[in-house]
Each structure stands twice: as C-alpha cells, then as structure tokens.
Chains A and B, each alone.
Chain A
C-alpha cells in the first residue's frame, strides 16, 4: 500500500446557525485506498463531504491536495483538482443518452464548427463502459434504464474525468445484488489503478469487505481512525453510536403468539408487467419479510394490496372474507397501515409539523367540533405518539422536513400507531437510517406483532430481514420464488433466491 497522502483535511470546523456540526475534524486519504467514512445520521459525514467538494464553505481549517493547501469553493474547483463525487440522490438526466450524461458540460466538439462530435463521444463512452464491463450501451436513453443502471451511469461519469479520488455516498443504496457486485469489482479495479475512494455507506458488511481504512465520526468529532486489521464490526458500531448494542438482536425468533389462524390470504394476485400469480398467507402476529432485488415487484404487490394501484386478477381474503381494496381510504378504514418505500417523496409532507403529519391519516378518528377538527385532541394524540416511540425533537410543531431521517420515519410509522391496526405494510423502513434508529424501529414492529398485528416487511437489507421477520418470501422477476421458513435462514439463502443461482459467485467475490 502506497503511503502517500492525496487528500488531507485538517481541523475542519463548521457550524450552522450557532450549532457546531463539525468540530476539529480530521480526514486523510492515501493514494489508492478505499477509505470508509462512517457515522450515524447527523454525525457530520455529509457536511464534511460537502466542504471537501466545495458545496459548503468551512468556518476554519485547511485542506491539502497532494501536499499543497487548496481552496475549494465550487464543484468546478473540486473537479479541477481530480475529485469526483457520486451523489446519493441520482443526478443523471433521464432525457439524455448514457454518453450524453457522461460527457455533459464537456462534450467533445467537431473541429471549428462548435457542434458536438457524437461519433467520438459515443465511442469514448462505449470504451469506458467496456473497460469496466458495465451492462450498458452508450446510446441507451437513460429514461429507459432501471434505477440501478442509472447509478452505474453516474459512476461512469465520475470515472470519465480520470479522477484520482472518487467520493461515493451510499452508492449501493439502490443497487440490486448483482449490480452491487459489479460495483465492488469496479472498486477493486480502481484500487489497483491507484484511484482513492471515500466510501460512505450504512451497510456495514460492505464497509468491512471493501475498505482499507475507516474514519468514524460521532457528533461532529473524530471518534476513531482504524486500519484494516483493526476493524472489528461490533466495535465499529459501538464507536459510531457510543452505546452498547443489543447482542441478541441477530438471533432468530419464533412467533410469540402460538396461533395458526391465517388472517391474510392472497391468491393468484397479478398485475401485468409487475408481478404474476402471487400467493401467500400471513398468520396473526406474524412478521412476514419480503426479500428480492429492486424491481422484483415487491413494492408493487404491496401497493395493490393497500389499494394504491389496481391489479388485474387474484383474490385477497382477510379473516375469511374476501376483501377488495378499491381505494387507500377504504383500506385505512379497514385497518391497514402503509409505510411507503420513498420516505421523503411519499411518506410525509415535509412542510407540515409532526402534529399535522400524524393527524393526516387519522381525521376519521379525531373528534370533530362544530366547525373544525379538534386541534387539541390532534395535539394530544400526537404527544402520546412522540412519547411512545421517542420522536426527537419532542415538539409536535416541528416541521418534519427539518428532522433527521430516522425521526422522519418514526413520524411516518407513528401516524399508524394511533389507529387500531390489523395489517401494517412497511417498505424499506430503515433505508438511509442510522443504526440506533433502526433498532428502535425494529422494536416498534416487534411490539405490534406481539399485539397480534400482521406486519409485512419489504426490505433489501438482508440482515434486517433475517433479524426481524418470522418468515421470508423471496421475489424475483415478479414471482415469489422461495419461502424461507423459521429456523436457519441466512442472508446467503435470500440472496441466492433473489438473484438466481448464477450470480452467487459474483456476490460472494
């Protein structure tokens, strides 16, 4: 390993309206290493990255690039030095082709005419794609690509600048197992070519597997810098959250209520183009996990079940009677709760307060006064929920858009806890949420199940599926391909079923 330091950030301080977000933070990156940056949400990772890439200005501190002090005031400065950032939110442009996206803003031109040389651009892009064996064509229009492939386009964009440092912020958040394994291979190849990578991820396994070194931030301060051989998973988590993690959390569980009563039964549910002939049963108090890759059709099944989309054929039985979900309103009144996959986009209204957000689905049970809903009762119900699941800040009037991801999700789940629930569907409930909040959300789900509520958990986080669910169904290409019952379910089992056996080796490697 080369010991030359390519980027060094020293004593970085940054505060927003009086709150110190970064406090004397230090980060150094060696040439050709994969350096993981970890920390809970709000630990200051994003702020640090934004300072390095010129999106924010630091209050004080110095940044060195290859030993020279530099001022980075814009993204252009950052790119000029040879850094590229692959963003968490997808920053590709659907209307353009893969090649146009890669070379956006620096298209090769034809001689003096000033016109774009498409031939050259497509050739350059295709060479780049082929070099890393991406499953893409330079002339594909991005609009027609799935989310995972779009992310690969973004990575290509970073690679195309011959960058010496790539910053990857949650790069696998929306990738399928196969796509992620391609990414890991690319990261390995880049490492061999002496490209340094700052790798930010909530998926601990990935970090252990990939990184050469690890910097942990906690509450805006450096908590630890670890060499590869010093990285011990349990210690890392503890350093991140600063408290001891429940050890028994990973063990398998059995149904608390020993009932065999089937409450929900789905028969031959089909929505053309999304899923086909989906059959499953759920017993009272059971947490049923749904595994599979992005685009396998899990979310779509749940949306139909909840009445948000229409299906073409199939039957749904609840407590022995046929149930036809014609609208979400009907489903809510019936006892459904639904926590959507896209938290920010579909889960809550960012500009409204916690209070209003939790009341939104519950106006039918909040007492009406002569002219309006009782805002007092609304507030009281909200306070109860805040206390029950520890939403922070514990202020019902706080705008949800300004809260951390974990607390936002608690608001989304919290609004369902006000009701008499029969079935709660949660779709990727902990995506992008820090470890502490994850645990709390698991506890909420387990508590509900213990009370006899059916919980359906859709998740791409294998650890989560294995840990929380009693039983796991795996979907692939719109079909349920495997049922993994209680007992010895491992993450590998799910992955194998989800991606088809042919990918097993890649994933393992």
Chain B
C-alpha cells in the first residue's frame, strides 16, 4: 500500500478513536443532530482548508485567512447597510475582496520574494486593521453589524436536514481534489513544493503556481465568510479570529507535510472533521476555553512529531526492501 494512503488511514483512525472517547463519555455526543453540527463547523474550516492545502503543498503557509474572513464580512455589511444593491451583488463583491486579498498575498510573496510566513503574518494584521477601519461605529464604538436580508440568512440554513454550507463544502472539496489530481496546475503544486528548482527547469511558472494557491485561498476564505455571517446573521471586526490556527491544524492533521509536496483534500476533509469533533467534544465536556486551546495545541504537536517519526519509519522500511532487492 502507498505511504500516503496509510498516512490517511492513520488520520481516519485517530478521528474514530476521538469519536469513540466522546461517545463513551457523553450521552449527548452520538446523535444525528450533534453530528450535523460537527459537519457544519468542519465545513467552514474545511472550505478554507481547500485553499490552504494548496498553499501548504507548495511549502508555503497562509496566516491571513481569518483576517480575510473578517474583511469580506465587513465589506458585505457595508454594502448591505449603505447601498440598495441586490444581495447576490453583495456576495460577489465580498468574494471579490477575498480573492483580491489572496492575490495581494500571492503577489508580495512571489514578486518581492517575501517568506510566506512573514508576508501573511503582516497581511493578517493589515486585513484585520482594514476591517476595523471600514467597520461601522456607533458613538465611537465598533459594534456588530446586522446582515439580515432574508435571502442571505437562508444560506445559513439547511435543506432536508443538511446545511447548505456542508453541501457547498463537499462540492468544493470534490472540485479541489480533481484540480489537485487531474490538472496541470495540481501537478505543478506538488512539483513546486517537492523540488522547486526542478519545477523551474521543467518550464513550470513557479511564481504563478504559488501565487494562484494564495488567490484560491482568498476566494475560499471569502466563501467561508459568506456562510459564517449568514449563520450569525451579522458580522463583527473579530470574525474569524484564530481561524487560521484551526485551518492549518486541520490540514496538518489530514497529512499535509509542512515541507510541501505531500497531502490532498481528502486528508484535509478528515482533518477538518477531526478539529470540529474535538471542539464539539471538549465543549460537551464543559472544559474551560483556555484548556481547550492547550489540548488543541498539544494535539498539533503530537501529530507533527508523529509525522516526522512516521516518515523516517517509512523511509527505513523502503530502504530495507531496496537493500534486499538490489541486483535481483
């Protein structure tokens, strides 16, 4: 069996163990309603995770996704409040802002050769600040902004017991996986992350490939913001704070290597459900928020440690095989 397939089964196994623990310890955990809630939360993380998976495949990172969500939300709130534009135009404008924010990341990273970490750390702050600037103030205080258009709120609802956001996530995940596995752009993402010099020598436009990954991430953060604000029926300048952590955690738990070149959307899907299950389960345990964050942090550390151990282990195994097979 393929090394990556085994890695994915490990992720899925971890998820099952987590579900098992929570099921045993709480009567309210294993219910259809609760699972819908978990999937709903996982979808928001997962939608952004599709973009971030592509970014991490190129050995990059994007820390600005939470801020992009906030900026998109506040843009829509302004349009809703001050214009008479139809709702679909408002949504499109929001998505456009998200995409442009991603483009900005991509351009400063590739054109000015900024390290991805520094670039998106900076824009994380810049996009958040822009959100504050355009947020609507009452008596000098920033308040949450209502987004109560009936057709918009609908997006936060469900059809036949399944939330729209879940449907959209599944749809985007399928498209994302097809892009990764069956298009040149997808292959290029792996190539760039695995050996960027070789990719260049093969005539791949590595800058464009990397930049496009950030653009897609910006767009995905926009979509996530639309569904999040539709569900909340409002937005605040704090929307999506800490989201980048959950997203990166989900992607890494799903088996994406931070060194680039390994991982896919199926893994991220598992990772997103894992993170949502964890949040949900901890909540059911009524653990203090601070401890929740500690538990999440520890889990990320464990997964990364496991990954490094696992890679060494697999390399050793394949070497053993080769040593026996030489010359035969």
B320 / chain A contacts, CB cutoff of 8 Å: 272-273
Within the complex, the shortest CB–CB distance from B139 to chain A, in Å, comes to 55
- Given A105-B184, A115-B178, also A93-B323 (CB < 8 A): no
B261 and A116 form a contact (CB under 8 A): no
A272 / chain B contacts, CB cutoff of 8 Å: 320
B137 at the interface (CB under 8 A from A): no
A274 / chain B contacts, CB cutoff of 8 Å: 319, 323
- Given A114-B183, A115-B178, A115-B183, also A94-B323 (CB < 8 A): no
Residue in A closest to B179 when the chains form the complex, CB atoms: A115
B182 and A89 form a contact (CB under 8 A): no
B327 and A107 form a contact (CB under 8 A): no
The contact of B197 among A91, A106, A273, by CB within 8 Å, is A91
Residue in B closest to A106 when the chains form the complex, CB atoms: B203
B198 / chain A contacts, CB cutoff of 8 Å: 90-93
A178 and B327 form a contact (CB under 8 A): yes
A95 and B203 form a contact (CB under 8 A): no
B194 at the interface (CB under 8 A from A): yes
B199 at the interface (CB under 8 A from A): yes
- Given A107-B187, A116-B182, A116-B187, also A92-B195 (CB < 8 A): yes
A502 and B187 form a contact (CB under 8 A): no
Within the complex, the shortest CB–CB distance from B289 to chain A, in Å, comes to 38
The contact of B194 among A94, A146, A297, by CB within 8 Å, is A94
Q: Which of A82-117 contact B (CB under 8 A)?
A: 87, 89-96, 100, 104-107, 114-116
A503 / chain B contacts, CB cutoff of 8 Å: 327
Please measure, in the bound complex, the distance between the C-alpha atom of A87 and the C-alpha atom of B225, giving whole angstroms.
Answer: 46
A87 and B201 form a contact (CB under 8 A): yes
Within the complex, the shortest CB–CB distance from A92 to chain B, in Å, comes to 6
A353 / chain B contacts, CB cutoff of 8 Å: none
A95 and B190 form a contact (CB under 8 A): yes
The contact of B326 among A90, A105, A118, A477, by CB within 8 Å, is A477
User: What 1/0 mask marks residues of chain A from 410 to 448 whose CB sits below 8 Å from any chain B CB?
Assistant: 000000000000000000000000000000000000000
B322 at the interface (CB under 8 A from A): yes
A95 and B183 form a contact (CB under 8 A): no
A105 and B316 form a contact (CB under 8 A): no
The contact of B187 among A79, A100, A295, A478, by CB within 8 Å, is A100
- Given A93-B190, A95-B261, A178-B327, also A104-B202 (CB < 8 A): yes
Within the complex, the shortest CB–CB distance from B193 to chain A, in Å, comes to 7
Please measure, in the bound complex, the distance between the C-alpha atom of A272 and the C-alpha atom of B317, giving whole angstroms.
Answer: 10
Within the complex, the shortest CB–CB distance from B177 to chain A, in Å, comes to 12
A143 / chain B contacts, CB cutoff of 8 Å: 3
A367 at the interface (CB under 8 A from B): no
Please measure, in the bound complex, the distance between the C-alpha atom of A508 and the C-alpha atom of B28, giving whole angstroms.
Answer: 75
The contact of B191 among A79, A95, A115, A118, by CB within 8 Å, is A95
- Given A96-B194, A100-B187, A146-B322, also A273-B316 (CB < 8 A): yes
A96 and B190 form a contact (CB under 8 A): yes
Please measure, in the bound complex, the distance between the C-alpha atom of A340 and the C-alpha atom of B234, giving whole angstroms.
Answer: 62
B204 at the interface (CB under 8 A from A): yes
B324 / chain A contacts, CB cutoff of 8 Å: 477
B34 at the interface (CB under 8 A from A): no
Best-surrounded residue of B182, B183, B261 (most CB of chain A within 10 A): B182
B319 / chain A contacts, CB cutoff of 8 Å: 273-274
A157 / chain B contacts, CB cutoff of 8 Å: 202
A144 at the interface (CB under 8 A from B): yes
9 CB < 8 A contacts A-B: A91-B198, A105-B204, A107-B184, A115-B178, A115-B182, A116-B187, A118-B182, A293-B326, A295-B326
Other A-B contacts than A178-B327, A295-B323, 9 sampled, CB-CB below 8 A, are A91-B195, A94-B261, A104-B199, A107-B187, A116-B184, A118-B182, A272-B320, A273-B317, A478-B323
Residues of A within 8 A of B (CB): 75-76, 79, 87, 89-96, 100, 104-107, 114-116, 118, 141, 143-144, 146, 157, 178, 272-274, 293, 295, 297, 477-478, 499-500, 502-503
Q: Which 8 A-B residue pairings sit nearest by Cβ, starting from the closest?
A: A95-B194, A95-B261, A91-B198, A115-B182, A273-B320, A104-B202, A93-B194, A105-B203
Residues of B within 8 A of A (CB): 2-3, 178, 182-184, 187-188, 190-191, 193-195, 197-199, 201-204, 261-262, 316-320, 322-324, 326-327
